[in-house]
Structure 1
Amino acid sequence: MKYSIVLPFLATTVLSAPLVQERQADCTVPTSFPTTANSKLPNPFVFFNGNKVATQADWTCKQKEIAAALLSQELGDLPAKPSTVTGTLSGSTLTINVSQGGKSISFTASIKKPSGTGPHPAIIAYGGASLPVPATVGTITLDNGAIAVQNDKGSRGKGKFFDLYGSGHSAGALIAWSWAVSRIIDVLETVDTGIDPKRIGVTGCSRNGKGAMIAGAFEPRVALTLPQESGSGGAACWRISDSEKAAGKNIQTASQIVTENVWFSPNFQAFSSKANTLATDHHELAALVAPRGLMAFENNIDWLGPVSTAGCMKTARAIYKAVGVPDNMGYSMIGGHNHCSFPSGQQPELTAFINKFLLNQSSANTAGIERSTATVDITKYIDWTFPTIA
């Protein structure tokens, strides 16, 4: 029996489970995933069938396996590129037109370009950028709430994405927004906008920070991912958040987040009270961005889970190191400021990553950017070691 699954990285044919066991090098992807309870973070260097990740080719296959599990258990289906995607630019307004299966939608994004001759790099900002975008980089503002509404639990199935794919589609808002980012880049590749589609970043804060993290993980054309104060559902790991909650911290967990809004798929409800049975966790979500640039900014606010985000992103940085790109990911937490304000102390870190990944400055120093006001020993959360991938 053969069947197909659409992943963010490619469309591929999935073979039956016995062949997955025998032919891991074929990059086959399972359609069912482990649900064995484990309070430790899952090992990203072992396939679900028990085979070890030993080479870069294996790692690419493992990323596809992680992506499939996240879509199945947490996020919902991510549709492939629609049959028709066109766009126009009028003034600063970019209009994206999409058709699929006899239905059509349009949505817009506003573009603010740097002065001078392009094409320029740009950052797609959910709802507008809350971190400072330099004058040399454009800003593309996306009204992500129009793509998938995120008012409350009653928002399920509302927005332009669901107008196209149906109100019963399994996608949560986060993956629907990621789909919209992909369609913007589709248009940037075909319409002369003055923006370079090979130098695109994505950012957002809080709930929109969760969205930025998902978009960077699932759209390989994003060069730099800049989630800000994304907390649980973003830079935090579900398992560490649960352990912090059990220790008496006022922290958002999976069991709470599903009662608040529709960011995740209805499929996630089955795991919300037992996140330790998920096949993956968010250290692996961050690892989907590798080898591209990822700089996660957090705030020392209990609800965001400072220990959870620090432990999760510290683990993700070690994964980046294991796969040979240690300087392509950073993590920074500074407390003492309002939620979604950007402290000046984090400016050098932001500047370094923008210079390297969007402005192509090879001299930009992104090495060893890892700081946190929460002290975390990741060996508390893992029962495996980090290999060096050949």
Structure 2
Amino acid sequence: MILALTTLAGGSITIQFGPAGPPPPFDDHAEMMKQLGVRAIRPGPNPNDQSTFNEATANPYKETMPDLLRMENGTKVEKASQWPRRRKEIVTLFEREVYGRVPKNAPRVTWEVTGVTPGMSGGIPTLTKTLIGHVDNRSYPKVKVDIQASYTVPARTATPVPMMMEFGFGGGFRRPSSAKPWTQQAIERGWGYGTISPNSIQPDNNHLEMGVIGLCNKGKPRKPDDWGALRAWGWGLSRLIDYFEREKGAMVDARKVGIEGVSRYGKAALVAEAFDPRVAVGFIGSSGEGGAKLHRHIFGEAVENLAGGEFYWMAGNFIKYGASDPPKTAADLPVDSHELIALCAPRPCFVSYGLVEKGDAKWVDAHGSFMAGVLAGPAYRLLGKKDFGTPGDYLTDPMPPVNSLIGGELAWRQHDGGHEVTPNWPAFFDWVARYIPAPPLPTNRKPLGTPADVPASRTDDNSLIAHFQLLQKAAKGGIDVYFEGDSITRRWGTSDAAWKPMLENWTANFYGWNAANFGWGADGTQNILWRLKNGELDGVNPKVIVLLAGTNNVGAGQSVDEIVRGIEAIVKTCREKAPMATIVLTGIFPRNDNMSYLPTISAVNARLAKMADGKRVRFLNVNAGLADSAGKLFEGITIDNLHPSPKGYQVWADGLKPIFTEILGPPAMTDHAPPPTGDPSQAPPPGGPPRRVGG
């Protein structure tokens, strides 16, 4: 808004109101050269001039190669107990001279689940969650940073799974391929997979007044040892690991989170694993200069290329090693990339490259990275792990044949593709299984472990929090219609953003009848029974109870008799807790995720029909509106062959509304039921404060 004021002297003053724009850009490179006293950067090699790539002259600085296992005071590192001290020395040098330090004022991140999407991968049901990590910018509101990430796990897993994250958010350096997608390979191996967007953490350009670096510096230029983009991208991954550590409902084993990246994101993946010991494994693709490639191997991209080009990936101090005035070279660096790889020890690290002929150019220097891996080997051996297994002379050890995997926890494989990792994924998953076991894939017939008519509590934190929230909902009163069941019931009237269309359908059908939803996903009859016996129906006194339960018992392979006993126990408990309520016992819906379930469902429903007395217990079967006589679901009835779409829920609603009208009369103009609740791991309760689940 612009406000014009007239002064007493007849002049005018213009005042502009509104949010401040982004801070003006500054030239970080010029500012850094000024701070460092650097007057000129020497020109780097030209990627199009093959004469610069000469292996015969590539090792002029071999005499200056840092000794990985020698302390700064000259002490030789000979025992594993000495490694933490040596590791700390190496970290300090990399932070000061190469990648920069994470500032002490690095902000907290609050993670928000913005979507939950069921899917299939190679016939295996999956669940994908999209996340936004809101970076606290109260110290400098002009810069806003929202980290974008997504992850997928097997849908029915009861055990947290290992997670392989990828830098790049779905794009990266992947070529069209007929090979099985790496994401499907991950799911089939019992892993989850995910992506995190580096650019949402720190833009991949020289605008360092923006992103998390600009936020921490309040839009001002860096100091020479401040972090660059590579370190910032790794910091973002670390904050996502914080989320996995805190959110048990994520079903991710936070001790088994790996990272993969190609090219610049390969550099970032290596930096992330090196600096955060919680990163369980790194898959480092074609990372080149600033990644796995030896700085002192003068072949392809060199220090001066980054010092004069993508300097923003690195700490400001790195620029001086590409300077011609005053002169410094890679030989002056106090560290080299073999020590960066060694920082990953003893954790698994897989170094990957492709072929020059297929597009993994000489520029990225595969041989220089192989040499660095050979030099990193002693750290792995010191800690009782296996390195490449070569003789150990980085200057003479031959690279193995293409498509040959060598090594142990430190591994190398050059595939027959180009600037990508696609051809190496099968070998990677075979290799990583030696060191990071994954739980067996869930099956549709996994036993629930407790008889269907014996109350059993869910033990995961998320379900216990949900139970507490449902107790609070029950205590608010104003409920005339009480819905109970599993995820099929829950998704109809939940606050979760992912199921907004279902909530809209719920409201359109039931507003004015004071209906409240008490379903909870993945519950069997024994879990529902436990919740009812532990307060969720106490004092509610509804006039109608709608019950749909048993499909998870069917999927667990329990017998018809046992499932019926479980539902009978629920009905009995409802009669005891709410003796004046009419119970609408709904027949189990047909499901097509496994057609072999249909006979059990039909048999259970036939038995449920006999439980109804037509008065206090009524049986409702709407399956004729959901599927044909063979049990095949009609088009658009479900979203995943199990859970109804709004179209499917409408069929159920059309069966319920005449009963509600008979018992309650027409819906009122107002509604007194408490607001819907949702999955505690996905969103805060409506009207409540946000749950801080970030680092």
Tell me the TM-score range normalised by the shorter chain. Answer: 0.7 to 0.9
Q: CA offsets, 1:142-196, max 9 Å, x none?
A: 1101211113xx3334323422443434211000111111111111111232222
Hey, what's the Cα distance between the residues in 2 that align with 1:43 and 1:323? 17
Is 2:196 the counterpart of 1:139?
Answer: no
CA drift at 1:98? 3.5
Supply the distance in 1 between the matched residues of 2:265 and 2:290 (Cα, whole angstroms): 11
Partner AA of 1:342 in structure 2: T
**Residues 122 and 201, structure 1, Cα contact 8 Å, conserved in 2:** yes
Check if 1:93 corresponds to 2:130.
yes
The answer to whether the aligner puts 1:176 opposite 2:176 as a matched pair is: no
Other-structure match for 2:156: 116
Q: Give the secondary structure class of the aligned counterpart of 1:297.
A: strand
Letter in 2 for 1:139: Y
Query: CA separation in 1, counterparts of 2:81 and 2:138?
Result: 35
Residue in structure 2 matched with residue 337 of structure 1 by the alignment:
417
> For residues 189 and 78 of structure 1, what CA distance do their matches in structure 2 show?
21
Aligned residue in 2 for 1:309? 369
| SS in structure 2 of the partner of residue 324 of structure 1 | coil
Q: Which residue of 1 aligns with 2:208?
A: 156
Name 1:218's counterpart in structure 2.
275
Of 302, 307, 332 in structure 2, the residue corresponding to residue 253 of structure 1 is: 302
Structure 1 residue 74: Cα displacement = 0.6
What secondary structure is seen at the aligned counterpart in 2 of 1:257? helix
Q: Which runs of 5+ in 1 are unaligned?
A: 1-36, 246-250, 362-390
- Helix, strand or coil at the partner of 2:282: strand
- Give the stretch that moved more between structures: 79-88 or 290-299: 79-88
Question: What residue in structure 2 maps to residue 29 of structure 1?
Answer: none
TM-superposed deviation, 1:84: 3.8
The answer to whether the Cα contact below 8 Å between 1:148 and 1:161 also exists between their aligned partners in 2 is yes
1:25 — aligned with what?
none
Please name the residue that 2:689 is paired with. none
Aligned mates of 1:236, 1:199 — CA distance in 2 = 26
Cα distance change, pair 114–260 in 1 and its aligned pair in 2 (3 A): farther
Deviates more, 1:38-47 or 1:217-226: 38-47
1:233 matched to which residue of 2? 290
Question: How many Å apart are 1:341 and its aligned residue?
Answer: 4.8
* CA shift for structure 1 position 307: 1.9
Contact 2:259 2:282 in 1 (8 A): yes
- Which amino acid is 1:141 matched to? T
**RMSD over aligned Cα, in angstroms?**
2.4
Q: Secondary structure of 1:230's match?
A: coil
C-alpha distance in 2 between matches for 1:202 and 1:63: 21
In the alignment, structure 1 residue 42 sits paired with structure 2 residue 61: no
Distance of 2:367 and 2:277 partners within structure 1: 29
Match of 2:168? 127
Provide Cα deviations, 1:204-232, integer angstroms capped at 9, x if missing partner: 10110000000000111110111111111
Change (3 A) 1:159 1:99: closer
Give 1:352's aligned residue. 431
Match of residue 338, structure 2, among 264, 283, 295: 283
User: Which residue does 1:294 correspond to in 2?
Assistant: 349
Question: Are the equivalent residues in 1 in contact too, given 2:103–2:216 (CA < 8 A)?
Answer: no
Aligned residues: 313
Match of 2:250 among 181, 188, 193: 193
> Does the C-alpha gap of structure 1 residues 107 and 57 become closer, same or farther in structure 2, counting only changes over 3 Å?
same
Q: Distance in 2 between matches of 1:63 and 1:100?
A: 33
Report if the CA contact (8 A) 1:89-1:95 is conserved: yes
- Structure 2: unaligned runs, 5 residues or longer: 1-60, 117-128, 175-180, 323-327, 356-360, 387-407, 441-695
Deviation at 1:80, TM superposition (A): 4.9
What amino acid maps onto 2:154 in structure 1?
P
CA distance change for structure 1 residues 145 and 331 in 2, over 3 Å: closer, same or farther? same
For the 8 Å contact 1:204–1:211, the answer to whether it is kept is: yes
Kept in 2: contact 1:227–1:296 (CA 8 A): yes
8 Å CA contact 2:353–2:421 kept in 1: the answer is no
Deviates more, 1:197-206 or 1:53-62: 53-62
Identity of aligned residues (%): 26
Cα distance between partner residues in 2 of 1:50 and 1:100: 44
Does structure 2 retain, via aligned residues, the 8 Å contact 1:88–1:96? yes
Alpha-carbon separation, structure 2, partners of 1:121 and 1:51: 39
Deviation for aligned residue 1:353:
1.4
2:329 alignment partner in structure 1: 274
Give the direction of change, closer, same or farther, for the CA distance of 1:81–1:358 in structure 2 (3 Å limit).
farther
Change (3 A) 1:80 1:287: farther
Distance change in 2, residues 1:126/1:282 (3 Å): same
| C-alpha separation in 2, matches of 1:114 and 1:360 | 11
Residues 168 and 195 in structure 2, CA contact (< 8 A), matched pair in contact too: yes
* Corresponding position of 1:9: none
Q: CA deviation at 1:278?
A: 0.9
Query: Could you tell me whether the CA contact under 8 Å between 1:231 and 1:298 is conserved in 2?
Result: no
